[in-house]
Every structure is written in C-alpha cells, then in structure tokens.
Amino acid sequence: MDFGEVLTRAWQIIWKYKILWIFGILAGLGSGGGKPRPGENGRNGNNNFNYQYNFGQNVPWYQVERWFNENWWIFILLALAVMALIVVIVVLSTFGRIGLARGAWQADEGAAKLSFSRLFGESGPYFWRVFGLSLLIMIFWIALLALIFLPALAFTAITFGVALLCIGPLLLLLCCLLIPLGWAVTVITEQAIVAITCENLGLIDGLKRGWQVFRANLGPQAIMFLILGIGGGIVRFIIALPAFLIALPLIGAAIANTRTAWMAGGITSLVLLCIFIPIALVLNGVVTAYTGTAWTLTFRRLTGRAVTAPAVEVVPAQ
C-alpha cells in the first residue's frame, strides 16, 4: 500500500469536501478537562480572602453537610443532565463516525458534491449497527479488565497484600500486553465501521470483515496506526496547549489572593475558556476528519479499491 498516496488523498478529500469537518467534529465529541485549585493563603485584610471567602479552610463541615441535605435535588438534576448529555454525545458521535466514513468513501469514488443532509440521512440505517459495535467493544474491555484485576484484588485482600508482591510483576506484564491489544482492537474497529457503513454489512459480519482486513494486512495496518496515532496525538496535544494558558489568570489571582484578583481572574479565565472551546472543537474535528478519512482510504486500498473518476453518483445503501 502506498502510504503517501493515502495520506495525501485524505488531506485532499477533507480540504475539498469541508462538510466532512462537521462529521469530524461530531465524531470527536467527548473531550474533558480539570479544574485549577485556588491558593491556600489565608491572610487577613479588607481585600484578602478571609473567613467568608476561604471555603477550603474556614467553613465547618457540618455547614457543608447541611447544604447537601437541603439541596439534594440539585444533584439529582445534575445527574440527569449529565446522563442526557452523554446520550446526546453518543448519538451525535455515532452519526459523525458513520457520516465521515460514508463521505470519505463517496469522495474517493469521485462524488461531485457531498451534502450534510444527505450524509446524515444515509447514516440512519447504520446507526444501531455502529452503536452496537461500540457497545460490544466497551463490554469486551470491561470484561477483560474485570477478568484481570478482580481476581488479583480478591487474592490480595485474602492474603492481606502479600500476594501483591507475587502477582505485581504479572499484572505489569499484562498491562504491557494490553497496549498492542488496544492497538489491534482500535484498528479492527475502524475497519469494521467502514465495512458496516460502506459495504452495508451487519454488525457481526462487519466485525468479521474488519478482522479479515486486519489479519491479512498486519504490517500496513501497524504502520498506518503509528502514523495516524502518533501524528494525531501530537497535533491534538498542540491544540490542547492553550488550555494551560487559561489557568494563568487564576494562578495570578491565587498569588494576589484578593477578592478583586479572584473576580478578575475568574472572569478572564471564563472568557478565554469560552473562546478556546469552539476553536478546539473545530480543530479537533479537522484532525478527526483526516484520520477517519485516512482509515476509510486504508480499507479501500487494502481491499483493492483505487481512486475512480470524479463526479460519480453514489446510491445510498438501503
């Protein structure tokens, strides 16, 4: 397989058919981050954080517990909101992965134009298959990790930690073996998604097809995974770097430790965060669109499909 042709063609496709960026954004949903901690300086003064502002040190625990008891319904609403958000993200991400694969496939076949409405509409018949594939992979990992770590934890508890000295090296070896296994599962999943959405296969048949393509092309798949995995990881790290700058106003506020500094720092960080999130989503979506397109082209090249003439009309699968 010509890796240069695949990587170049993938860039040409996402640059020409920028509608794939939207599906890349949808497929790349789910990023998260942490919160910076305020300083612990407890100086007194009119402008410094005193008793009523230094929550971490001065508010008695019984007041916190009382607030929890009186406002328990807030946490139920938050839990429901989080669950609803997760459902929305999973649905949109699934549609994004399907639309991206089908769009890249059609673009490589020479489609004159790709539209969001058409690709999104074509994704419907494949939704439950791709969602089921993701669910199956998640169950696999949960079962595998439980099979490895639960007996080890039980054995360690029974022997009061002595067994950990014996099984520790074994657990370390198993964790190392999980790395190539994770690589294999990732590649098989990517190829199975393409098989399901572009060859109109069922869940199990698509998984078998992904395994066949992977098994027959271990070398090219490994090289492509290293290129897309390492390259994509570096680009995403660069995209995430400005997130560290968002914490600088809060760090300055922690050093000053005044009410005005905390207010100014908090507002500044919030504004920067609101600016950073949409930019990061778009850039991450472009990266996701590129990697997803490259995996689709990899499947096509490894299964003997070359670039065809432009302006080919693709009929949606039923």
- Check residue 164 and give its pLDDT: 66
**pLDDT for position 209:** 92
Residues 156, 157, 161, 162, CA torsion sign: negative
Residue 21 sits at φ, ψ, to 5 deg, of -60, -40
Interatomic CA distance for residues 109 and 160, integer angstroms: 62
- What's the distance, Cα to Cα, between the start and end of the chain in Å? 31
pLDDT digits (tens, 9 = 90+) for 166-224: 676 777 887 788 888 888 998 999 999 999 999 888 999 999 999 999 998 988 999 99
The two tokens of residue 88 are 């929305």
Of 247, 244, 127, nearest to 197 by C-alpha is 127
How many whole angstroms separate alpha carbon 280 and alpha carbon 314?
33
SS3 258: strand
- What does the pLDDT average to over 150-162? 72
Burial of 9 (C-beta count, 10 Å sphere; 0-12/13-18/19+): buried
Q: Please indicate, yes or no, whether the overall pTM of this predicted structure exceeds 0.85.
A: no
Give the per-residue pLDDT at 286: 92
Structure tokens at 214: 């992977």
Looking at residue 318, its pLDDT comes to 43
The answer to whether 133 and 196 have CB atoms below 8 angstroms apart is yes
**Residue 237 pLDDT more than 60?**
yes
Digit-coded pLDDT (tens) for 50-78: 444 444 444 445 555 666 676 767 778 88
The mean pLDDT value of the chain amounts to 80
